[in-house]
A and B are shown apart, each in its own frame.
Chain A
Amino acid sequence: MATEQRQQQQGWNPVSRVLNWMEQLSEEAYAYLLLAPAFLVLFTIALWPLWRTFRVSLFADNLFGAAKTGEFVGLQNYIEVLTNQNPLLSRPLIDLTGGTPFFRQALLVTLAFAVISVVFETLIGFGQAYIMSKEYRGRRWVRVAIILPWAIPIVIQGMLFFLLFNPSVGFLSDPLQAIGLFGSNPLTSSTNAFVIVTVADIWKTSAFMALLILAGMQSIDKSLYDVAEVAGASPWQRFRHITLPLIFPALMVAMLFRTIDAMRIYGIIEASGAGCGTVPSLSCLVVDTMFGVTQAYASAATIAFITASIIALVIGGYLVVLKLSPEGSYQ
């Protein structure tokens, strides 16, 4: 039969021979094969550098010579950073004495930023996804408009908000000052600058949330809504019983990565003119320490790993509280 012959001919072709070989693999072996490229990339480009960076964090800084690190000190760097004894840090990482105002402590600023921005971005993202999902004329342009902020480079986003809140150029700080919300120099006051940075971030990254939520919504089989409607579900109930559970995996991915990203906030702080001095974040400490002319690599590596551990704690909490396995409700 024609089909049969064709298949046999294919058998001689090396490409299809490889494909055939792959097809014979057990599910498990096949899974590992498919994961191989990703892990090859992740291993060389991410895990291996991390390992090297980690090694650096076990040595002392050397600021006064050609070599960048000094003798092996083990976990000394970690202890110093965590107990605020590393003089190279411009801000306390964790100040348990309560002496440093809230918005000047890297950890607190980072956490506060993550919580506030993720909450608002999720809510706004839902709203945006909702209006992007409805059918009406001009929807495509509404979609583009909503996604556009995400397309703005962080430098410009920073400049934009810097200017908007700049007392001489923009016009946002005057009214806010008038009602007493802002001081005269919003960008130099940690609290005000924190608000500005957060607003700027929400403006830009809600689109990220919205896109993922929208994609989740669009993947739902419409007939389920029919069923729910016939069963008497109000719009809210349809959302609650169908939309929400079915976009939950996508929503989780969005929130997970937004939280991680928010906890690594750096760019907008610098770009908006607030600066790491005013709104210190964990990543600020890493970048300042690593890339200043001081080149305190060991301290920087230490802070990077501490930052990652803190993020891991938060994300771990996420997974536990929401009773998620990392693969979530993928089954």
Chain B
Amino acid sequence: MSQPTGTERSDDETRGPLSNWVDSAIKNPKKVYRAMFYVVVIFFLFTTLFPLYWLTMIALSNSNRVSEGVGLLPAGFDPSSFVEIFQQIPLHLYLFNSFVFATLTTIFVLIVASLAGYAFGRLEFRGKRTLLLTVLIISFFPPAAFFIPLFQLFTQQIAFLGLTPPELYSTPGGVVVPLSAIFMPLAIFILTTFYSQIPDGLEDAARIEGTTRLGALFRVIIPLSAPGVATAGILTFIAVYNEFFFSFLMTGTAAQDWAPIVDGIISYQSQFQVRYDLMAAASIVAVVPVAILVVVAQEKIVSGLTSGALKE
């Protein structure tokens, strides 16, 4: 294999590179496997990235030539939309608002859901099933079903159990609080699943070393569930960052009133005219923070976290 004989070599030359490859592939099926793997990778990259590529082409197109059709290259070339998006509206403020919502909600959800996930995943208690079902049932409802009472509550029109909360409308609280509740069931389920898979032996070891049960959760179980926690975090963050229903209705339309990024993006749309190039450019800009987050967080989704831990 490694040392082809002279005749083979001359053979190869006449048959060309493809059949050479086929030949060596037959001898070494790993090669075929590798090649197929890369084909699959490229396929997935193409399907996920192509629409984004095209979005970039729209952003780079000349604004009034978009409607002529944008192909693989921009219609006209006008990168100025990336500047214009900041001139028309304070896009950075919208970005900041969404970022604040997403960060606060993600932290809050991860903490509260971690406690609940620990209880559901690792403790035995009566009513576990029922409570878990209750959590699930909350996500059956269209968000609109929660909206009006919360809206009235946050605008101090009604009281909850006799209490009137501070006016949360048009503050981060008005978005973070409902979104926390809405994205909590998913996070609880994810964390429950992952926490329950950490072997008891490791928690036992931590407790013997002197942690409380809660300490074991934060020092051992959460670090070892990093893939699950990172996933729950990414999913929640992105969902909130792009959430439109509550963040739109619970805030004003202006960046100063805590309007979210999506509000910013759609304001490039006027009644009869849509600046696709601006919307595209703005959404590309808006995706950047998320992309950075994903780059960072995906490092946590690594394998083998529990290998070498236990003999069993």
Q: Report A-B touching, CB under 8 Å.
A: yes
Residues of A participating in the B interface, judged by any CB pair closer than 8 Å? 19-20, 22-23, 27-28, 30-32, 34-35, 37-39, 41-42, 44-50, 52-53, 56, 124, 127-128, 130-131, 133-134, 140, 142-156, 159-161, 163-164, 168-171, 203, 207-208, 211-212, 214-223, 249-250, 252-253, 256-257, 260, 264, 266-267, 282-283, 286-287, 290-291, 297, 300-301, 304-305, 307-309, 311-312, 315, 325-328, 330-331
- Point out the residues of chain B lying under 8 angstroms from A221, CB to CB: 306-307
Residue of A nearest to B139 (CB): A260
Known contacts A31-B119, A140-B295, A208-B235; A326/B133 CB under 8 A:
yes
Contact of B307 among A147, A223, A307 (CB under 8 A): A223
Which 5 A-B residue pairings sit nearest by Cβ, starting from the closest? A45-B181, A38-B116, A49-B149, A304-B145, A215-B227
Q: How far is the CB of B48 from chain A (nearest CB, A)?
A: 5
Residues of B participating in the A interface, judged by any CB pair closer than 8 Å? 37, 40-41, 44-45, 47-49, 51-52, 54-55, 58, 66-71, 112-113, 115-116, 118-121, 123-126, 128-129, 131-150, 153, 160, 177-178, 180-182, 184-186, 188-190, 192-194, 196-197, 212-215, 225, 227-228, 230-231, 234-235, 238, 241-242, 244-245, 261-262, 265-266, 276, 279-280, 283, 286-287, 290-291, 294-295, 298-299, 301-307
- Point out the residues of chain B lying under 8 angstroms from A39, CB to CB: 116, 131
Residue of B nearest to A41 (CB): B181
Residue of B nearest to A325 (CB): B129
- Cα separation A256 to B137 with both chains bound (whole Å): 11
- Point out the residues of chain A lying under 8 angstroms from B307, CB to CB: 221-223
Do the beta carbons of B280 and A156 come within 8 Å of each other? yes
Residue of B nearest to A309 (CB): B140
- Cα separation A181 to B151 with both chains bound (whole Å): 45
Residue of B nearest to A38 (CB): B116
Do the beta carbons of A330 and B126 come within 8 Å of each other? no
Q: Is the interface of B mostly helix, strand, loop or mixed?
A: helix
Contact of B145 among A45, A50, A260, A312 (CB under 8 A): A50
Residue of A nearest to B249 (CB): A291
Do the beta carbons of A35 and B231 come within 8 Å of each other? no
Do the beta carbons of A249 and B47 come within 8 Å of each other? no
- Point out the residues of chain A lying under 8 angstroms from B230, CB to CB: 215
Q: How many A-B residue pairs have CB under 8 A?
A: 321
Known contacts A45-B177, A253-B189; A35/B150 CB under 8 A:
no
- Point out the residues of chain A lying under 8 angstroms from B121, CB to CB: 330
- Point out the residues of chain A lying under 8 angstroms from B287, CB to CB: 148, 151-152
Q: How far is the CB of A66 from chain B (nearest CB, A)?
A: 14
Q: How far is the CB of B83 from chain A (nearest CB, A)?
A: 19
- Point out the residues of chain A lying under 8 angstroms from B137, CB to CB: 308, 312
Do the beta carbons of B123 and A286 come within 8 Å of each other? no
- Cα separation A48 to B180 with both chains bound (whole Å): 15
New contact pairs (14) apart from A38-B135, A283-B142, A311-B140, CB-CB < 8 Å: A32-B125, A34-B119, A42-B185, A45-B178, A133-B303, A140-B298, A148-B52, A148-B290, A152-B52, A154-B262, A155-B262, A253-B186, A253-B190, A328-B193
Contact of B51 among A131, A164, A223, A264 (CB under 8 A): A164
- Point out the residues of chain B lying under 8 angstroms from A28, CB to CB: 123-126
- Cα separation A250 to B192 with both chains bound (whole Å): 10
Known contacts A47-B138, A212-B231; A154/B244 CB under 8 A:
yes
Residue of A nearest to B195 (CB): A330
- Cα separation A52 to B145 with both chains bound (whole Å): 9
